[in-house]
Amino acid sequence: MKTIKVLIVDDSAVVRQVLIALLSATPGIEVMPAAADPLLAMERMKLQWPDVIVLDVEMPRMDGITFLRKIMAERPTPVVICSTLTEKGAKTTMEALAAGAVAIVTKPRLGLKQFLVDAADDLVHTVQAAARANVRRLAMRREPTPLPQPTAKHTADVILAPGAGRTMAMAQTTERVVVIGTSTGGTQALEEVLTALPRVSPGIVIVQHMPEKFTAAFASRLDSLCHITVKEAENNDRVVPGRALIAPGGRHLLLRRSGAQYHVEVVDGPLVNRHRPSVDVLFRSAAKCAGANAVGIIMTGMGDDGAAGMLEMHNAGASTLAQDENSCVVFGMPKEAIKRGGVDRTVPLSSIAREITLV
């Protein structure tokens, strides 16, 4: 594998110093002279073009979003966003991901140096994943126009028994439920899929690898763009037609069933396949409680999270789909699921929404 040339663009001298030290210590990564702002970065890039850019979003002279859009328009290059763990930082990061950034690296306002050192493994893996990304897929996308607000959205009506104060629950159910797992490149891929769904669609539960505090902003953005309702999952949320639930960052999400109804459980727990939330955790719960009534979809991402869980779903009688290589930003997760024998069919990203509506 060729050496990965990385350009760090951040106005914090401490961040630049720590990132340079961490990445330079990794075999196969070469760190170019860092830049304190995008204008200086463009001068650096005239001399040597990087394979990956690690980019802050809040900088003087030119903000990171403007710089990112310029790069993706002129010469698409993998960009990893280095963003603060704040509500404002999360919203800005959603803009960056929509504009073509591959992934997120978070940084707190306090204890920055130690945090970055503790997160060294994640940083290195993120940069390595970005270097393999098919950024042409990101550059080809156009940002959708938000739906007119307020948008009337309705999930399935709850049918109450006469005089009863609770939902009727049958011992058996034929209700179908869709579970989706994705990682690198997944925010853009999910946006393409979910915005194409009609208001009447099966209930969907999603794990997207994303840091804590960012999933609420991500769900809110999707909700503004989609005909279906999209929200960050909370414990005991119902899984109903017309709604997509997204696992909160830093927590695992499981599918549960009570009688004829599906709901989700949000839990703490150790990392699984280096992730929390983990796709495997969701898929295994779907295999157990939904069986043949479930549809599993594994999409773009690096690594093998979800491959074992998808095989369990397949063996339980669920329908299982993988995004094809040509439409993936990173083909790692679908490729591993296919290799293990858990995938019924591979389909392009453009067909996944239709597959969901046919469930």
Per-residue pLDDT of the chain (359 residues; tens, 9 = 90+): 689 999 999 998 988 998 898 899 999 999 999 999 999 999 999 999 999 999 998 887 888 899 999 999 999 999 999 877 666 678 888 888 888 999 988 776 667 667 667 778 888 989 998 999 998 877 665 555 565 554 556 554 432 233 333 333 334 566 899 999 999 999 999 999 999 999 999 999 999 999 888 899 999 999 999 999 999 999 999 999 999 999 999 999 999 999 889 999 999 999 999 999 999 999 999 999 999 999 999 999 999 999 999 999 999 999 999 999 999 999 999 999 999 999 999 999 999 999 999 98
Name the token pair of 352: 């996944």
Annotated catalytic residue within 51, 56, 183, 319: 183
Same domain, 189 and 327: yes
Roughly how many angstroms between the first and final C-alpha of the chain, as a whole number?
A: 41
The enclosing domain of 131 has a CATH number of: 3.40.50.2300
Tell me, yes or no, if 285 is annotated catalytic.
no
Same domain, 124 and 259: no
pLDDT (0 to 100) of residue 163: 35
Same domain, 86 and 204: no
Total domains, the chain? 2
Same domain, 223 and 340: yes
Cα–Cα distance between 121 and 36 in angstroms, integer? Answer: 24
Same domain, 225 and 351: yes
Q: Is 148 inside a domain boundary?
A: no
Q: Is 270 inside a domain boundary?
A: yes
pLDDT (0 to 100) of residue 351: 97
Q: Is 243 inside a domain boundary?
A: yes
What element of type H or E holds 352?
A: helix 349-357
Cα–Cα distance between 307 and 339 in angstroms, integer? Answer: 9
pLDDT (0 to 100) of residue 109: 64
Cα–Cα distance between 133 and 139 in angstroms, integer? Answer: 12
The enclosing domain of 228 has a CATH number of: 3.40.50.180
Name the token pair of 236: 């005991």
Same domain, 69 and 207: no
Give 164's contacts (C-beta < 8 A, 6+ positions apart): none
Q: Is 147 inside a domain boundary?
A: no
Q: Note down the domain range covering 336.
A: 177-357
Same domain, 237 and 332: yes
* Stated pTM of the model: 0.87
pLDDT (0 to 100) of residue 304: 96
Same domain, 133 and 183: no
Tell me, yes or no, if 224 is annotated catalytic.
no
Strand 238-239 versus strand 261-267 pairing type: antiparallel
3-state secondary structure of 178: strand
Cα–Cα distance between 325 and 334 in angstroms, integer? Answer: 8
Of 140, 168, 200, the domain-final residue: 140
Tell me, yes or no, if 183 is annotated catalytic.
yes
Same domain, 226 and 352: yes
Annotated catalytic residue within 209, 252, 263, 275: 209
Of 140, 161, 186, the domain-final residue: 140
- Minimal CA–CA distance to 305: which of 180, 181, 190, 189? 181
Same domain, 282 and 351: yes
- Minimal CA–CA distance to 239: which of 175, 163, 305, 285? 175
Q: Is 156 inside a domain boundary?
A: no
Annotated catalytic residue within 275, 305, 319, 327: 305
Q: Is 151 inside a domain boundary?
A: no
Same domain, 220 and 329: yes
Q: Is 337 inside a domain boundary?
A: yes
Cα–Cα distance between 250 and 209 in angstroms, integer? Answer: 9
Q: Is 279 inside a domain boundary?
A: yes
Contact 84, 58 (CB under 8 A): yes
Could you say which DSSP state residue 310 is in?
A: H
Give 176's contacts (C-beta < 8 A, 6+ positions apart): 202, 293, 294, 295, 359
Of 140, 168, 191, the domain-final residue: 140
3-state secondary structure of 180: strand
| Torsion angle of C-alpha atoms 250, 216, 280, 298, degrees rounded to 10 | -150
Could you say which DSSP state residue 358 is in?
A: T
Same domain, 194 and 302: yes
